[in-house]
Structure 1
Amino acid sequence: MTPPGHTSVLLLRLAAPLQSWGDRSTFNRRETRPEPTKSGVVGLLAAAAGRSRHAGVDDLAGLGLGIRVDQPGSLLRDYHTVSDYRGRPLLSAAVSAKGAQKPTSPAKRTHITQRFYLQDAVFLAAVEGPGELITALEYAVRHPAFPLSLGRRSCVPAQPLVLGQRTGALEDVLRAEPWQVTKAVRDRWGRRNGNAAHVDLPATLDDPAGDESRDDVPLSFAPTNRTFTTRRIRHTYLAAPTGLTPDPEHPPTTGGHDPFALLGW
């Protein structure tokens, strides 16, 4: 338990067959960033805590965030076509003076949409803030009020999701935590790299002096008033323990999704 007035870091292992972390999506093209967004992580925490979309999230948006890319995964494009089952032309985005959608002109009967996902990716998210709030959030994620997802409702997280709380600076916590990949991936990497004790992993950290800006800090999740602001971030590499050498204090994680486990790869 973190003493009152102290900060703590909650570690979340974000792994699943599919994830999608969009920040610039439109109706017909829904993108994903190559790593989780702050709005996505805050949304997961808010859902776990049982907050409605109209509830405030200032306390959650103000938490520090660091993302370590343990396994980048690969990009998947999901191609869709949309049509009216009654055979009617589709409606356009324009509306009439009475607020009704106008028909497409010329008439359009099929609409193409594309959705993008990250498949078989694994991220380590570190959320830093006041100890009491972090403790409450850890409990909420372990006992969520609403179903949790990784960016989109259909992207259900694999287990373990919660790795617990850590003390210390956020960057140091991310550096000390063992590599969060399956045993098969770790062993394959070890054979190629001589069972090295550490692996260099890319990470993105909240940093007021960072050299890049991201427009993904939520001010409101209300459906009619979704608004965001910016944050400054810094990119770096962290040498994390591989788990290939014995470390009783930090045993490697063996859970999670491994699509090739049954094949012995």
Structure 2
Amino acid sequence: MTTLLINLSGPQQAWGDSSRFTQRHTRPEPTKSGILGLLAAALGRRRTDPIEDLASLTFGVRTDQPGRLERDFQTEIDWRTGKAKPLTNRYYLADARFVAGIQGPDEVLEALVQALAEPTFPLYLGRRAFPPAGPLRGSLVATDLSRSLRDADWTAGPQHRRAQARIVRLPIVRDAGPEDTATDSIRDHPVSFDPEHRQYEWRDVVHEAVDIENLDSQRPASTPDWLAALGGS
């Protein structure tokens, strides 16, 4: 088994799977449709091009730094008529970091690594206004998706590390395999990115977590028992 790992970080990210009209939501972690769309852009595919080969890849993501949920209240004017459009609330994640994993055939993953190094179209983190913090680089590891996400280096920033406990639990969401018992379903499996008839299907996922040691922690090991110190019962 081979897995492609991609570190995702940026000032802002948005990964919607159910946004409608004036409310543009984001999931707390990148979606399969969002990451496959990013890879399709790197390969130079148009929105109307087939994506069956990419959609067949196994996807998962680990949250290294959850960031903050922020809301952007927007107004907009139709430049053709000069009339105001409906007010919108657009939610996004600020200062978040993730590790995304893609499992599939070696030749496909190797082509994706090359495409990320020299992308055809600009890459962004869910919305066009949200570029990554730097060039996206893919790395190949010779383990399956679940193990690769568990073993990947922790990418959280120094300030976040210092604020966390000595042991940190990192959530993982990945495609459910034949041997897994699915714990959730998400409607973010892309069938078509064509703007005239976008189509997504449900996918079954498994929620896991990995505990890591945080040597940079500046939090006390435990909360002091002030009543005991004062002789209380």
Q: TM-score, normalised by structure 1?
A: 0.75
| Inter-partner Cα distance in structure 1 for 2:41 and 2:215 | 32
**Structure 1 residue 242: deviation in Å?**
4.3
Structure 1 stretch 161-170 or stretch 132-141: which is displaced more? 161-170
Deviations 1:199-236 (A, max 9, x none): 32111011043121111111111111111111100111
Q: Which residue of 2 aligns with 1:212?
A: 184
Q: Secondary structure at the match of 2:87?
A: strand
Structure 1 stretch 120-129 or stretch 200-209: which is displaced more? 200-209
Displacement over 3 Å in runs of 4+: 82-88, 240-244
The correspondence for 1:30, drawn from 16, 20, 24, is 24
| Inter-partner Cα distance in structure 2 for 1:180 and 1:26 | 32
Judged with a 3 Å threshold, the aligned counterparts in structure 2 of structure 1 residues 110 and 174 are, in CA distance, closer, same or farther, namely closer
The correspondence for 1:11, drawn from 2, 5, 11, is 5
Letter in 2 for 1:150: L
Letter in 2 for 1:129: G
Q: Secondary structure at the match of 1:82?
A: coil
Judged with a 3 Å threshold, the aligned counterparts in structure 2 of structure 1 residues 184 and 222 are, in CA distance, closer, same or farther, namely same
Q: Which residue of 2 aligns with 1:126?
A: 101
Q: Which residue of 2 aligns with 1:44?
A: 38
Give unpaired runs (5+ residues) of structure 1: 1-6, 91-108, 245-265
Q: Which residue of 2 aligns with 1:145?
A: 120
Judged with a 3 Å threshold, the aligned counterparts in structure 2 of structure 1 residues 199 and 163 are, in CA distance, closer, same or farther, namely farther
Give unpaired runs (5+ residues) of structure 2: 217-233
| Inter-partner Cα distance in structure 2 for 1:227 and 1:154 | 23
**Structure 1 residue 174: deviation in Å?**
0.9
**Structure 1 residue 182: deviation in Å?**
1.7
Judged with a 3 Å threshold, the aligned counterparts in structure 2 of structure 1 residues 85 and 121 are, in CA distance, closer, same or farther, namely same
Letter in 1 for 2:5: L
Q: Which residue of 2 aligns with 1:159?
A: 134
| Inter-partner Cα distance in structure 2 for 1:31 and 1:120 | 17
What do you get for the CA RMSD once the two structures are aligned?
2.2
Letter in 1 for 2:54: L
Matches within 5 A, 1:100-139: 111-139=86-114
**Structure 1 residue 156: deviation in Å?**
0.3
| Inter-partner Cα distance in structure 1 for 2:206 and 2:189 | 15
- How many equivalent pairs are there? 214
